[in-house]
Chain A
Amino acid sequence: NAGVTQTPKFQVLKTGQSMTLQCAQDMNHNSMYWYRQDPGMGLRLIYYSASEGTTDKGEVPNGYNVSRLNKREFSLRLESAAPSQTSVYFCASSVQHSYNEQFFGPGTRLTVL
């Protein structure tokens, strides 16, 4: 089992460009999450999907959109990237929402120039 996979691992964008971060899990988990991690700020929840077919905003959703494509896949889209979105992005999944351990992907390091 690969667990949680993310692509790409690294990405450099120019301001205003768009991109989609991909995430997939093979653990048959119901819930999936997108976080960003910045120095001194810890992990902050961008969006989550409690179950297939639902998505909800987290703490810092502005500038992002998500799609729960199916039970395995949860993508994060930046429509018009800004330097403030330079960060490390982690996707995570859990069996059920909120009260279970979360399993994290390896992360995507994004730089917006």
Chain B
Amino acid sequence: QKEVEQNSGPLSVPEGAIASLNCTYSDRGSQSFFWYRQYSGKSPELIMFIYSNGDKEDGRFTAQLNKASQYVSLLIRDSQPSDSATYLCAGTSGTYKYIFGTGTRLKVLA
């Protein structure tokens, strides 16, 4: 079992809809979580990070963390075709551990 799990997708949503991306983790010691966006052939770039239980909003993006259930999610409101990319969830714990999930491919249909 990977320490950070994501559904590989693709997740297809129509333009203007809410895209919901989910991530579960196995290490209860994980403290910080990050969502990166990666366009095809490009490097990952940070969208959001979250440390505390609850929701964190930034523009069209909302990150949600539930430590009791060990899941993290990313909501993208008013999805645009330019949001089509692979979204990587990463969690940190311990000394070096910055563990990435395999990513979820999102397709926003115009």
Contact = CB atoms under 8 A, between A and B. Distances in A.
A56 B96 contact: yes
A49 to B, nearest CB: 10
Interface stretch (B10-18, B59-67, B100-108): B100-108
A40 B31 contact: no
Interface string A66-94: 00000000000000000000000010000
Cβ-closest 4 pairs across A and B? A42-B102, A104-B43, A43-B100, A101-B46
A102 B98 contact: yes
B96 A97 contact: yes
B54 interface: no
Given A104-B43, A104-B44, A105-B43, A99 B31 contact: yes
Interface residues on A, range: 20 to 34
Contact of A45 (B8, B32, B94, B96): B96
Contacts of A45: 96, 98
Contacts of A50: 96
Contacts of B100: 35, 42-44
Contacts of A101: 34, 46, 49
Interface of B: 8, 31-32, 34, 42-46, 49, 88, 90, 92, 94-98, 100-103
Contacts, number: 49
Nearest to B41: A107
Nearest to A107: B43
Given A105-B43, A106-B43, A58 B96 contact: yes
Of listed B49, B97, B98, residue having the most chain A CB within 10 A: B98
B96 A48 contact: yes
16 contacts: A35-B100, A43-B44, A48-B96, A56-B96, A90-B43, A90-B44, A98-B92, A99-B31, A99-B92, A101-B34, A104-B43, A104-B44, A104-B45, A106-B42, A106-B43, A107-B42
A16 to B, nearest CB: 29
B8 A98 contact: no
A82 B49 CA distance: 36
A4 B104 CA distance: 25
